[in-house]
Amino acid sequence: MKDELFLQLAASLKEGGAILRGKKNPARSTTLQSPDAKAVRNKLGLSQSQFASLIGISPRTLQNWEQGHRHPEGTARALLRVAECHPQMVLEALHR
């Protein structure tokens, strides 16, 4: 590795450590809002157990989302976003 690249990498690591310790602010940050699982479920007119079964999760997981103890991640968050915008399409697609 060239000396210049090594020095850039070392400086980057030091900067990352300072950000993690709260001594420096990151250049940018991204916050993703999780869809409101309860609002989506209500929009579909389903009980907790029906909705959990429909999207393939346990009722307890859904309860944790609705109570704010946990937040949906990855594909679950994506599915909730689709259900939020197109509830009937999700019902038709998943309720077969």
Q: Is the pTM of this model over 0.85?
A: no
Q: How confident is the model at residue 1 (pLDDT cuts 50, 70, 90)?
A: low
CATH of 37-94, one of 1.10.260.40, 1.20.1250.20, 2.60.120.200, 3.40.50.1370: 1.10.260.40
What is the 3 state secondary structure string of the chain?
A: CCHHHHHHHHHHHHHHHHHHCCCCCCCCCCCCCCCCHHHHHHHHCCCHHHHHHHHCCCHHHHHHHHCCCCCCCHHHHHHHHHHHHCHHHHHHHHCC
Please write the tens of the pLDDT for every residue from 7-55.
Answer: 999 999 999 999 999 999 988 888 778 899 999 999 999 999 999 999 9
